[in-house]
Structure 1
Amino acid sequence: MKHIGIVDITTVGACLCANEIVAQAAKLTSSKKHPEFTMHAFSYDEYYEYIHRKDWISLSNKICESIKLLEKVGADFVIIPSNTPHYSIEMIEKNSPLKVINLIEIVADECHRKGYSKVLVLGTKLTMQGGLYNEVLKSRNITSITPTDDICDKIENLIRNEIIPSQINSTTVENIQNDIKKYDCDAIILGCTELPVVYNENNLEKPVVDTTRLLAHYALQFANED
């Protein structure tokens, strides 16, 4: 099996993704065998500063530093379990010494495969309001819906100030949950790899595209290919 390199932007999402790789491998085989993987992270504040400034060139350079370190320890390809940094994916792919799996593309393919025509995109405020998924979904004849400014602010606060630092308030989660249920859509993209910690198909009462686990499953499949 190929060695998976994981670029850890936010550790909650990266660890959830890594754990899903192991869990999914266990479901598919009785041998408990899973691919070798290595995770690397710089301090989160370094990534956040570039993202906050929308400095995608500097962000891609920082991520490529991680990729080069992962290459040195034997990684064969790389995943980035974080949605917003994919604004710089073209630059990352161009400068990376290893193949990088494009999370946004595989999520859009999954929506198309399941026949969704209208999806609500959740994530950081920049992911939602910056239209990270808009064009790639449009190319597959899928309409993307962005929550209102107020709800975007609430979700941003939940991600940055509660989920990432592991200080989750159940009231915050429930209030946003009730807001999300009001939207008319075929499915909901959890376009932040931390959101599956608090949301799923059961509590949102709609089909969910879990970007964290989808990436893990794709990475496992790719690692097993010749």
Structure 2
Amino acid sequence: MKKYIFGFLILALTSYAFVEKKPIQEHKITTKTHSRMNTLGLIGGTSWHSTIDYYRTINQTINDHFGNNTNPPLIVYTLNQAEVHRYQIENKWDSIATMLVTAALNLNKAGASAVLFCANTPHKVYDDVQAKLDFPVIHIADATAQAIHEKGLKKVLFLGTKYSMEEPFITKRIEDNGIEVLVPKKKKQIEELHRIIQEELTYGIIDKESKKYVLGIIAEAIAAGAQGVVLGCTEFPLMIFQEDLEVPAFNTTEIHSKAGVDYILKN
């Protein structure tokens, strides 16, 4: 019996030796050659909903650029929005500036060589913050003005918080680039837009009636000659989309994110 078993094993091994062996194919991953990317710091949390859009847009754009799953060197610092809103109501913008400087310095210590504020309204204290830093803060208005120029427009409507609509820290910087900027003239409209942002959009709430109200204001501005609409609060793109409008919409979240990508890829 042992003889038979031994003979069977010899036969099996001999047969296996003559079986054609196919080479194992290696899985090749094609990676686009690139130089070292610059590390960017994102100061987010105002609100976290739009901060996610910044993070997503920057990562996706870098993926598209390289044609693979290359990720950019990003560092995120989240501010406490409740505290920011409290300082806004108390008109303590110096305290907000301190929060932004602290965030920027922490990001720099972690390796970021430039930062950006993931919102429009913090740019009210941009000059104060930038003066305390020895590395750049990428300004949202500069990137927006460039995008408007690329469309060849000369007159746009700007919608944002009451701070950015009533004060010139965003609109004037755009106007300095030869672009006329309209904002709602009625105090009631400004207050309602601000309420929609603060009480709805920052919580991720999209109300149909609120959207209708915003579109009504946009329609008035178009009738007054506006050739495009700047969604000058990073929450508005959660509600208003290009397909809602007959004129170009300038999504400042997306525009600012692309400016961040330009910095990351800058040699």
What TM-score comes out, normalization by structure 1 length?
A: 0.93
1:221 matched residue in structure 2: 262
- In 2, Cα distance between the equivalents of 1:216 and 1:158? 23
Give the 3-state SS of the residue equivalent to 1:51 in structure 2.
Answer: helix
- In 1, Cα distance between the equivalents of 2:164 and 2:112? 28
1:171 matched to 2:209? The reply is yes
Give the 3-state SS of the residue equivalent to 1:221 in structure 2.
Answer: helix
Give the 3-state SS of the residue equivalent to 2:42 in structure 1.
Answer: strand
- In 2, Cα distance between the equivalents of 1:68 and 1:128? 29
Letter in 2 for 1:191: G
Confirm or deny: 8 A CA contact 1:123 1:192 kept in the other structure: yes
> Structure 1 vs Structure 2: percent identity of aligned residues?
21
How far is 1:97 from its partner?
Answer: 4.2
Deviations 1:117-167 (A, max 9, x none): 111000101111223333223322211111132322221121111111122
- In 1, Cα distance between the equivalents of 2:257 and 2:61? 8
- In 2, Cα distance between the equivalents of 1:117 and 1:208? 14
How far is 1:203 from its partner?
Answer: 0.6
Give the 3-state SS of the residue equivalent to 1:181 in structure 2.
Answer: helix
- In 2, Cα distance between the equivalents of 1:100 and 1:92? 8
Deviations 1:88-123 (A, max 9, x none): 111111112432111122212222332221110001
Confirm or deny: 8 A CA contact 1:67 1:98 kept in the other structure: no
1:202 matched residue in structure 2: 243
1:57 equivalent among 94, 100, 106: 94
How far is 1:39 from its partner?
Answer: 0.9
1:186 equivalent among 215, 227, 236: 227
1:2 equivalent among 24, 38, 42: 38
Aligned CA-pair RMSD: 1.6
Confirm or deny: 8 A CA contact 1:68 1:97 kept in the other structure: no
How far is 1:178 from its partner?
Answer: 2.7
Confirm or deny: 8 A CA contact 1:5 1:37 kept in the other structure: yes
1:23 equivalent among 60, 85, 94: 60
- In 1, Cα distance between the equivalents of 2:91 and 2:144? 22
- In 2, Cα distance between the equivalents of 1:139 and 1:5? 27
Higher Cα Rg, which structure? 2
1:151 matched residue in structure 2: 189
Say which is worse superposed, 93-102 or 12-21, in terms of deviation.
93-102
1:74 equivalent among 108, 111, 114: 111
How far is 1:62 from its partner?
Answer: 1.0
Ranges in structure 2 where 5+ consecutive residues have no aligned partner: 1-36
1:86 equivalent among 109, 123, 128: 123
Please list every run of at least 4 consecutive aligned residues from structure 1 whose deviation after the TM superposition is greater than 4 angstroms. none
Ranges in structure 1 where 5+ consecutive residues have no aligned partner: none
